[in-house]
Homo-oligomer: A and B are copies of this chain.
Amino acid sequence: MPLTQHQPLKDLISRFKFQKVLDSSPQTKVLSLLGTIDGKDAIITAEKTHFTFDENIKKPNPVDGRSTPIFYQCENEYSIVNGIQELKEIASNDIYHWGLAIIKQDMEENPTARLNLIWPATPVHIKKYSQQNFHLVRETPEMYKQFVIPYIEKQYEQGRLDWVDDVLYGDVESERIVYKDFSEDKKKDGFIILPNTKWDGVNLDSLYLVAMVYRDDIRSVRDLKPSDRPWLIQLNNKIRSIIPACYNFMIHADELRIFIHYQPSYYYFHIHIVNIRHSGLEDNIAAGKAILLDDIIDNLDFLGPNGYLDKTLTYVIGEDNELWKGGLREAAMEQMERDGIPKLPNIVSGFDPKSKTLNP
């Protein structure tokens, strides 16, 4: 069967041969597995769905005209109220009771999990989904020039960003587009909004969208200059005007967390848009990875004409990241030495985790 022919997900998954668990988060109920399909590496990532409850409406608040979400009922037959098929008590103490439940499932109304398959997966994919150690790196403008620029250029040379054109100009994912603002004569102002693959597309509480711009001269926040400020302000205002309207004003402009990532997962300027209620998302919204668009706009007011090119950016990086292995590690270690941070003692024996001091 040629690779270009579409293979149903069901067939692919049925041929999946498990090798190992790449990552597991009991907090978010996400699991990533490495295996093979037809001898080629495959990554399955699964995330449990949230609980089902009925449609919610927003009740207008008489004070300011805003509406407050009112969750109507849990009369849905798959809800925690009506969907319980089995219940087992674990413990009970005064007014507190604990138990386990089995809730009715249904492919349309209440599936168990969302699945994501990458196949064939490259070593880069495997690294991305693997559990690893992380470090905080203070990237100076010099470090950016020395390590990051060559890395980005390699990405482009290798055609790893060709898919961006397919999304912006092709038919790929066109049925998933939430909003498109594009005209050939005003390409600079154009942008497209898509659901992030992390979102189930249903539950507004976990709304997660991505805006990609048609401007192709910005690879990351590092390329933003004070002259881009009006463009960013306009983009920010457009996003905050459009998204609420796209979702029937069930979410308001000031309930959107709008940010970029540095380092981004790909070096073509895109903006993350997430429901402000959606707090966790692993480190996706964490300081040390996420930078609010509003903060960028404000900083560009203070930065010199080179904008973010002259700034020191501090972020969390995984040991598997090519940038870490390609020089950032050594640069970060030198930096710590200059800061006077003591080097690690050579701990071989005499180690007592109970005591707060090192045995000689």
Contact = CB atoms under 8 A, between A and B. Distances in A.
Interface residues of A, number: 158
Given A20-B71, A68-B133, A292-B287, A107 B100 contact: yes
Interface string A43-55: 0101011110101
A35 B53 CA distance: 14
Interface stretch (A82-90, A142-150, A153-161): A82-90
B33 A280 contact: no
Contact of A96 (B33, B66, B118): B118
A14 to B, nearest CB: 8
A343 interface: yes
Given A18-B73, A29-B49, A237-B339, A316 B9 contact: no
A186 interface: no
Interface centre among A55, A75, A345 (most CB of B within 10 A): A345
Contact of A51 (B46, B87, B101): B46
15 contacts: A9-B87, A25-B205, A29-B29, A29-B50, A29-B51, A48-B48, A49-B100, A57-B353, A64-B329, A80-B113, A80-B115, A100-B107, A103-B113, A285-B286, A285-B287
Contacts of A311: 298, 302
A10 B299 contact: no
A112 interface: yes
Contacts of A56: 21, 24
Given A115-B100, A245-B342, A276-B316, A92 B9 contact: yes
Interface stretch (A213-221, A251-259, A263-271): A251-259
A246 interface: yes
Given A93-B172, A163-B94, A254-B136, A353 B248 contact: yes
Interface string A302-322: 111000000111101000000
Given A26-B206, A55-B353, A87-B115, 18 more contacts: A9-B99, A10-B87, A26-B203, A28-B28, A33-B81, A46-B51, A97-B116, A99-B117, A136-B254, A136-B256, A137-B254, A240-B339, A240-B341, A246-B356, A257-B288, A286-B290, A299-B299, A302-B302
Contacts of A106: 102
A131 B247 CA distance: 21
Interface in A105-156: 105-107, 111-121, 131, 133-138
B107 A86 contact: yes
A360 B268 CA distance: 39
A39 interface: no
